[in-house]
């Protein structure tokens, strides 16, 4: 694959898979970034469903070198078509945040219309997609975050906003689904808010406190071509807004990915500017 734009999750440097391969062997120097939009330049023997020259978007293997590069080898099943009317910088912002939100809400959270969702970190990369997808699915969404994020989260479609710095989480009352991207005390206290039959899903590691009468799911996002296609389609027709804060060239990636100021969305690295 020729990479046109790459996405990066700030916690990648903490993941064991960034530094070791599946057999536990040192794989440094590692190339970071696992999201990409680009063009297929060659196909491995037996590959079906893709063609050379096709625009694609996808999520690459955690244990292998990533997408902050000009070229990367990617399993075909990890890629979905990227239509010509979606910018590579937008496409590269979708795989991790979009698939995490999708899988947490619909697969693990079993969300149905009319349910109440507590979306933590709602202005962030994952939370932003959680709010929009849950709202579109007919849920009542309560977003949480920093005080400065209130207007953004309500604009994304949340019905209420809770400032975790000053509002009491317990005042939320009961919810059917907690989507946790923060962990720690917020995760623990959220367990008590889950109504009987509800769930708390988390993407930041195993939860200590469990809902008294509900499910708890700790998961890692997986690539899924069909789900990624659904997410891309929603961006195309305006049902889902991408959350890109900064676009920087590959030469400036180190500085761009280590910002001195608070981010307001994802940082995307534009590797090649021809579409």
Q: Smaller CB distance to ligand NAP: residue 76 or 204? A: 204
Asked if residue 9 binds ligand NAP (CB under 6 A), the reply is yes
Query: Contact between 169 and ligand NAP (CB under 6 A)?
Result: no
Size of the site for ligand NAP (CB under 6 A): 21
Q: Nearer to ligand NAP by C-beta: 39 or 181?
A: 181
Each residue 56-95 as x (binds ligand NAP by CB under 6 A) or -, in order, gives: ----------------------------------------
* Least distance CB 138 / ligand NAP (angstroms): 23
CA distance 146 to 127: 12
Binding status of residue 262 toward ligand NAP by CB under 6 A: yes
- Residue whose Cβ sits closest to ligand NAP: 124
Distance CA 130, CA 132 (A): 6
Pick from 96, 158, 235, 253 the residue near ligand NAP by CB under 6 A: 96
156 closest CA partner among 182, 117, 185, 197: 117
In degrees, rounded to 5, the angle at the alpha carbon of residue 92 between the alpha carbons of residues 90 and 97 is: 95
- In whole angstroms, give the CA distance from residue 91 to residue 37: 6
Residue 25 binds ligand NAP, judged by CB under 6 A: no
- Nearest Cα to Cα of residue 6 among 63, 43, 57: 57
Q: Which runs of E-coded beta strand occur in the chain?
A: 2-7, 35-39, 55-59, 79-81, 116-119, 140-145, 160-163, 175-180, 194-202, 215-218, 244-249, 266-270
Q: How far is CA 122 from the centre of its chain?
A: 12
Residue 172 binds ligand NAP, judged by CB under 6 A:
no
- How far apart, in whole angstroms, are the C-alpha atoms of residue 162 and residue 106? 23
Which helix (H) or strand (E) covers residue 235, if one does?
helix 225-236
Q: Does 178 bind ligand NAP (CB under 6 A)?
A: no
Using CB under 6 A as the criterion, what x/- string covers residues 101-140 for binding ligand NAP?
--------------------x-xxxxx-------------
- Span near ligand NAP by CB under 6 A; candidates 85-93, 180-188, 207-215, 250-258: 180-188
Give bridge partners of residue 7 from the DSSP assignment: 35, 268
What are the residues binding ligand NAP (CB under 6 A)?
9, 11, 96, 100, 121, 123-127, 145-146, 164, 181-182, 186, 203-204, 220-221, 262
């Amino acid at each position: 694959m020729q990479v046109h734009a790459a996405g990066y999750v700030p916690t990648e440097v903490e993941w064991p898979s960034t530094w070791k391969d599946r057999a536990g062997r040192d794989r440094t120097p590692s190339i970071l970034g696992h999201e990409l939009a680009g063009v297929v330049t060659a196909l491995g023997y037996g590959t079906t469903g893709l063609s050379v020259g096709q625009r694609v978007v996808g999520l690459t293997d955690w244990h292998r070198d990533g997408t902050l590069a000009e070229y990367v080898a990617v399993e075909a099943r990890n890629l979905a078509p990227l239509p010509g009317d979606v910018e590579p910088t937008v496409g590269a912002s979708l795989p991790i945040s979009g698939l995490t939100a999708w899988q947490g809400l619909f697969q693990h959270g079993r969300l149905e219309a009319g349910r109440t969702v507590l979306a933590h970190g709602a202005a962030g990369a994952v939370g932003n997609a959680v709010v929009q997808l849950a709202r579109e699915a007919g849920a009542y969404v309560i977003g949480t975050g920093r005080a400065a994020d209130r207007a953004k989260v309500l604009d994304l479609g949340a019905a209420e906003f809770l400032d975790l710095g000053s509002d009491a989480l317990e005042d939320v009352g009961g919810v059917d689904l907690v989507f946790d991207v923060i962990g720690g005390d917020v995760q623990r206290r959220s367990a008590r808010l889950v109504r009987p039959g509800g769930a708390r899903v988390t993407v930041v590691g195993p939860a200590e406190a469990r809902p008294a009468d509900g499910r708890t799911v700790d998961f890692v996002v997986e690539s899924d071509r069909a789900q990624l296609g659904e997410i891309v389609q929603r961006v195309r027709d305006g049902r889902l807004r991408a959350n890109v804060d900064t676009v920087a060239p590959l030469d400036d990636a180190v500085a761009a990915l280590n910002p001195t100021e608070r981010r307001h969305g994802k940082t995307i690295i534009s590797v090649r500017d021809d579409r």
